[in-house]
Structure 1
Amino acid sequence: MSLSAIDWAQPWLAPYRARGEAVAQAVQQASSVAAALSALRPENAPAFVPQDALPTGQAYEAHIFETRTVPTRDNLHDFFNGLVWLAFPHTKRRLNQLQAGEIARRGVATVRGPLRDALTLFDENGALLDAPPVLWQALVERDWQRLFVTERARWQEARLWLFGHALLEKLVTPRKPITAHVLRTPAGASAALDDAALAGTLDPAWLRTKPFAALPVLGVPGWCAENASPAFYADAQVFRPRA
């Protein structure tokens, strides 16, 4: 696990930096990831336990729902998962509740089904965007020129929060093609995101439609020095036109 490779000054890590640096320091001083996360958890977050607390054959999401504990490995993936639990406990619990409900109804199958698929996609790779309508419309239409060049100044009115722990893990080594699955949030532009309000928006019928917009996150102004040049967005292998 390369916690030392994390650059906490990156803008996408701002919501996680304070706890993340503290957890990383504890782990580097010989604590497990589970113990370090549990030491900082707020009252409404679950406890973190070693991975071997998950009984053989039991579904991970069902175990979390039944025990209010999160089996956690000593790796970057679970490190970031824990940080998202600490930052957004209501939203993570809502995702877990919906996952566990689907597992109870349908069992664990090789094909998750549309709801579990959407929940997993958001949990692993999701992000939330609060932005002026012109930016959201350009994103949906994959009009990258308008989104990032013509209307670039409007990003000062926007906020993007990364939620997916696999997405955060990938960005430890930033690469241009890394893409988030984005939901629009009505939170209002501010430095914080209302966790309880977000959890309340996660309606199963809506999620089944997979209402995500694809966003190459290093295209966000200020998130990559190279994107100051309009030529950065000319790469059609990353900034793909709408089909």
Structure 2
Amino acid sequence: MAAGVSETFAAIDWSAPWLAPWRGLGQPLAQQLQHDPTVHRALQTAAPPGAPVAFVPQSDLPEATAYEQHIWDTRSVPTRDNLHDFFNGLVWQHLPHTKRRLNQLQAQAIAADGVQAVRGPLRDALTVFDENGALLQAPDALWDALRARDWQRLFIDLRPLWAEARLVLVGHALLEKLVVPRKPMVAHVYQAPSAIESIADVDAWLAQEIQSQTWAAKPFTPLPVLGVPGWWPANEVPGFYADAQVFRPLRAAPVP
């Protein structure tokens, strides 16, 4: 568990805007888990027919077996009774093709290189997105400002444009941490086309988009998520964005 995050499923505020895509399934499961905190059983009960994986107890993971390799080989996800694995299961339920693709590439890298003390570039990038990733559908002007780390333009000058944007958090560690929101929390954001509307279509698109040749370079942009308009009352005050420890300027390119 992340530091400061309660184990209590009752602590989840399902009215939080970042939980909107997960609320329909997640809220009743969290209520169920307040009475029977067996996460794998709750997730498995809610799994649709033909789901790509089953949820099993953490004890099913053999010693000295890599977690990702086990999932790929057995189509089962070892699951602990905590918030981290609860949110991981919710993402599996909503983005099964994406999660399966992430798992496939992890397993292929493990098969090729083994489990090393330091992950290689591809496994590192896949893990960053799986744990802390998000998708942003937004007008080009917002993306230009985000990539430039021009926080004044992104969040103040162009604030009305956020009505045309959609940010979907997919990193289960980030969802877990946001149970106790703190200003410095940052997502690693990947650009998604605005034309895609349903979560199922997002899932199908993203699963095709994840390719080892491009993702090893970490094609993500950092975004302090509580700066998103409408996501946190404190950001209604313009001075909120003056905190350079959170809203950091773009690093200058190194001199050749």
2:78, 2:147 → 1: CA distance?
A: 36
Is 1:2 the counterpart of 2:8? The answer is yes
Q: TM-score, normalised by structure 1?
A: 0.97
Question: Distance between the aligned counterparts of 2:109 and 2:144, measured in 1?
Answer: 32
Is the deviation greater in 80-89 or in 36-45? Answer: 36-45
218 and 189 in structure 1: CA distance in 2 versus 1, 3 angstrom threshold? farther
Aligned match of 1:105: 112
SS of corresponding position for 2:131 = helix
Q: Which residue of 2 aligns with 1:119?
A: 126
Q: Residues 72-111 of structure 1 correspond to what in structure 2 (within 5 A)?
A: 72-111=79-118
Residues 10 and 31 of structure 2 are in contact (CA less than 8 Å); yes or no, is this contact kept in structure 1?
Answer: no
Q: Please list every run of at least 4 consecutive aligned residues from structure 1 whose deviation after the TM superposition is greater than 4 angstroms.
A: none
Partner of 1:164: 171
Q: CA RMSD in A?
A: 1.1
> Secondary structure of the residue that 1:194 maps to in structure 2?
helix
Q: Distance in 2 between matches of 1:145 and 1:176?
A: 17
CA separation of 1:27/1:63 partners in 2, compared to 1, >3 Å: closer, same or farther? Answer: same
Partner of 2:40: 34
Q: Equivalent residue of 2:231, what SS?
A: coil
Q: Which amino acid aligns with 1:22?
A: P
| Paired positions, count | 243
**CA–CA separation in structure 2 for the residues paired with 1:191 and 1:234:** 35
Distance 2:233 2:194 in 1: 28
**CA distance in structure 2 between the partners assigned to 1:151 and 1:168 by the alignment:** 26
Instruction: Trace 1:145-160 onto structure 2 (pairs within 5 A).
Output: 145-160=152-167
Deviations, residues 116-175 of structure 1 (Å, cap 9, x unaligned): 000000000000001001101111110001100000000011000000000000100000
Which residue pairs with 1:225 in the alignment?
233
Aligned to 1:200: 208
| In structure 2, distance between residues paired with 1:65 and 1:190 | 29
Q: Within 2, Cα distance between the matches of 1:14 and 1:76?
A: 17
SS of structure 2 residue aligned to 1:128? strand
Among 61, 65, 81, the alignment partner of 1:54 is 61
Of 21, 28, 34, the match for 2:27: 21
Q: Structure 1 vs Structure 2: percent identity of aligned residues? A: 60
Distance (whole Å) between structure 2 residues aligned to residue 221 and residue 35 of structure 1: 37
**Distance of 1:44 and 1:37 partners within structure 2:** 11
Check whether the contact 1:144–1:233 (CA below 8 A) recurs between aligned residues.
Answer: yes
CA gap of 1:189–1:97, structure 2 versus 1, over 3 A, is closer
Q: Quick check: 1:139 aligned with 2:141?
A: no
Partner of 1:234: 242
**Alignment-derived partner of residue 209 in structure 1:** 217
The corresponding residue for 2:4 is none
Q: What's the offset of the Cα at 1:28?
A: 1.8
* d(CA) in 1 for partners of 2:22, 2:248: 30
Q: Which shifted more, 184-193 or 233-242?
A: 184-193
Question: Contact 2:196–2:202 at 8 Å: present in 1 too?
Answer: no
Report Cα offsets for 1:67-123 as digits up to 9, x if no partner: 000000001110110011001000000000000000000000011100000000000
Which residue type is aligned with residue 39 of structure 2? V
Gaps of 5+ in 2: 1-6, 252-256
Tell whether the 8 Å contact from 1:135 to 1:151 is kept in structure 2 after alignment: yes
